[in-house]
A = this chain, B = another copy of it.
């Protein structure tokens, strides 16, 4: 294998503590409400007990092909939570479930509920549509996370055996199948397993799956014929649905099922980072540009279409009918984090932040027990969070990301220390052989001031790189109360100096309210603005307004005021102004009237962060407002 080209190395989750007015309550709700709630839902629906393998033909409620993944993602979430906040009861609960899972493993290493008890004869028969390899990937991620959190190896050993078995079935060797996952996920999981174990064979297997994808003759054609199916009658029609229409190195457009795409691209970036594969890295950058520069909502949501949960054409970003699945925004965070590690460029962290604070966080209610699967940018009032879903990918995906937040805050690159996200707490690392702790205090994203204090055994020269978010157009920076002029490099303010214990860095990011416009090619947003302050995109909710919020106009000269509202859902900055509401009177019997016969009246507008919508009285919602 060539030399790795991973530029940034995130801090281990166990080296980061979060103590932050914005995120601590979210992590607490995740720990105290979401994680128990999701486990209860998994239990209630039979997902946990299914690992007992006692379902028999004729029984009701056959284990579904993706149940393993839901429980695995829950274990991963619990593991991240345990990594930073030990909890004996939770750990005992995970151990018990892991015992079930390990006991469900077959002699040869195979480990999948559905294809062990429901359709054992169909093992590996339909990689295209079924989720065996996807479930395997989630079990591996869970195992690595739990081992890192607790040092316990039972699940890690099991998934190594499973991965070895998978490696004995799939590959280029004689008698092996040249298949690849219909729903990507295993690729990135195998790189995690490689990093956890140091075993090159897992990286090689991941690279095999990445590179085999989309080759001709197409494996899914062959596989369908072996099942006696006509590949031409496939419901999704086109292999771009699962990104296997051409080999991944030839792909240049984000296509198909958006979660699958994000997981694949994440796996590709991981393989590129670990192998130094330039061609793969270039493909990742092309796919990034396609997804982010032409197909992403301002909330960081991706995948516009309900039909097939897919990406559509460039600039096709309808608001009310947006799909923007929570898992796809989470997948974009994963992809962005990997591109950041590959390129050390702040533009990737910008998108990571944009998705995290908007399209991801909107996925879970503030209490932690209600979830969005779909995240539209406008609503007539009928879209609300639910306690769970038959296809329950989003809730545990949210839980694991929120619990794992610490991993996204800091990274090292040789002698440089990167601060990627502004989240209060501390991060511990070693610099030049000496332990170093970076304390962070901030009210971000409500305020742009960040105070960093260095705790250091002895004076040491190194480089601290603070991200200057793409949304920020002016900032000030001081070290020990003295203004400094940092070197600016790829979206970071670089401070290279000999640091002393107790040094204080104060960064102040200007955070005015901005009117955001979309590229003119996004016709759905023509003549409209969205409000943004810092990383947060705002929206109007019906309960704060009279007249359908989707019709309220915001004149270009209306003054926008940000105010911290302590009563709003635990405290949040709102944006207030005066807009125009079209008069609702005079319309009796007519749908259309001359503009000159209608009028508009000034109305108070109160915008709240998009991530907080649908936590109060149900009603309409809009992100994009006519400039009126």
Please report A residues at the B interface, Cβ cutoff 8 Å.
289, 292-294, 296, 298, 320, 347, 378, 380, 473, 514-523, 526-530, 547-548, 550-551, 553, 556, 581-584, 587, 589-596, 598, 622, 625-628
Contact = CB atoms under 8 A, between A and B. Distances in A.
Contacts of A515: 594-596
B591 A294 contact: yes
A550 B529 contact: no
A505 to B, nearest CB: 27
Interface of A is mostly: mixed
A523 B550 CA distance: 6
26 contacts: A293-B591, A294-B591, A320-B523, A473-B594, A514-B595, A514-B596, A515-B594, A516-B593, A517-B593, A517-B594, A517-B595, A517-B598, A519-B590, A519-B592, A520-B551, A523-B548, A523-B550, A526-B550, A526-B553, A527-B551, A527-B627, A527-B628, A528-B626, A529-B595, A626-B626, A626-B627
Given A523-B548, A627-B527, A293 B589 contact: yes
A316 to B, nearest CB: 8
A551 B626 contact: no
A318 to B, nearest CB: 8
Contacts of A523: 320, 378, 380, 548, 550-551, 622
Contact of A520 (B473, B530, B548, B627): B548
A529 B590 CA distance: 15
Most chain B C-beta atoms within 10 Å of own C-beta, residue among A298, A590, A594: A594
A594 B519 CA distance: 11
A253 B513 CA distance: 44
B521 A551 contact: yes
A294 B587 CA distance: 11
Nearest to A595: B515
Nearest to A382: B313
A622 B527 CA distance: 13
A298 B551 contact: no
Contacts of A293: 589-591
A547 B528 contact: no
The 4 closest A-B pairs by CB, nearest first: A527-B626, A515-B595, A523-B550, A520-B582
Contacts of A622: 523
Given A293-B589, A627-B627, A627-B628, A594 B526 contact: no
A100 B462 CA distance: 95
B296 A591 contact: yes
A307 to B, nearest CB: 10
B516 A595 contact: yes
Contact of A591 (B518, B587, B594, B595): B518
A46 to B, nearest CB: 27
Contacts of A378: 523
Nearest to A523: B550
B289 A584 contact: no
A547 B519 contact: no
Given A595-B515, A596-B515, A627-B627, A548 B521 contact: yes
A447 to B, nearest CB: 19
A510 to B, nearest CB: 12
A247 to B, nearest CB: 26
Contacts of A587: 519-520
Contacts of A518: 591-592
A625 B595 CA distance: 13
Nearest to A549: B523
Nearest to A550: B523
Given A515-B596, A527-B627, A591 B520 contact: no
B320 A519 contact: no
Contacts of A594: 473, 514-517
Nearest to A294: B591
A296 B589 CA distance: 12
Nearest to A625: B527
A177 to B, nearest CB: 38
Nearest to A471: B594
Contacts of A551: 520-521, 523, 526-527
A347 B551 CA distance: 27
Most chain B C-beta atoms within 10 Å of own C-beta, residue among A293, A296, A520: A520
Nearest to A514: B594
A320 B518 CA distance: 18
